[in-house]
């Protein structure tokens, strides 16, 4: 077995520049690319005894880490729906009564969406508030188009039921 330090230094000198460029193209950030490259080298070093082609393993590990980082970033961006008023879902009105009703509807919609499971919430927000196509959502979140379709359907059904239940319960109160 070759010296572990020699293995790592040789692999680093042969591959680090190309790997940094490759990862930076995937994630779009020098800082993220540096972190991913370091982690990929560490993983390659840790698995060196089981790896027959270290450079291929290194690049595969880096690609997988970059994909995970991008997926995590996309989910984090869409995990919270945020302020529904800012998204223009409810039209602004000048009368205080109309504004109060719009605020109530906005709050109710926000609550309904927040009750969705995280991935369903992310898909639903991208479709409804950002008008993304199923294909765009699939690519952004790294899930199949069929899964996107199911999440949008579930989001519509669950938010509708939540709102319906709210108004039914409100009308039942004396």
For residue 77, the number of C-alpha atoms closer than 13 Å in the C-beta half-sphere is 11
The predicted-structure confidence for 17-68, as pLDDT tens digits, reads as follows 999 999 998 888 889 999 999 999 888 888 888 888 888 888 989 998 988 8
Are 39 and 92 in a shared domain?
Answer: no
Are 69 and 114 in a shared domain?
Answer: no
Are 95 and 147 in a shared domain?
Answer: yes
Token pair of 135, please? Answer: 């294909």
Are 87 and 129 in a shared domain?
Answer: yes
The predicted-structure confidence for 97-111, as pLDDT tens digits, reads as follows 777 777 787 788 888
Range of the domain at 163: 81-172
**Domains contained in the chain, number:** 2
Are 160 and 91 in a shared domain?
Answer: yes
pTM of the model: 0.44
Give the CATH number, domain containing residue 149: 1.10.10.10
Are 147 and 133 in a shared domain?
Answer: yes
pLDDT category at 93 given cuts 50, 70, 90 is very low
């Amino acid at each position: 077995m070759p010296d572990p330090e020699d293995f790592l230094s040789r692999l680093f000198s042969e591959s680090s520049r190309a790997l940094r460029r490759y990862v930076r193209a995937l994630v779009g950030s020098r800082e993220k690319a540096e972190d991913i490259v370091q982690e990929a080298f560490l993983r390659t070093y840790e698995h060196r005894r089981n790896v027959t082609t270290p450079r291929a393993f290194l690049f595969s590990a880096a690609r997988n880490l970059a994909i995970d980082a991008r997926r995590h970033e996309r989910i984090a961006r869409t995990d919270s729906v945020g302020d529904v008023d800012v998204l223009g879902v409810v039209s602004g009105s000048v009368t205080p009564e109309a504004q109060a009703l719009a605020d109530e509807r906005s709050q109710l919609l926000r609550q309904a969406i927040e009750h969705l499971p995280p991935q369903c919430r992310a898909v639903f927000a991208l479709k409804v508030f950002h008008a993304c196509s199923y294909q765009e959502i699939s690519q952004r979140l790294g899930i199949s188009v069929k899964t996107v379709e199911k999440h949008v359907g579930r989001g519509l059904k669950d938010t509708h039921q939540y709102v319906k239940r709210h108004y039914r319960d409100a009308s039942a109160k004396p």
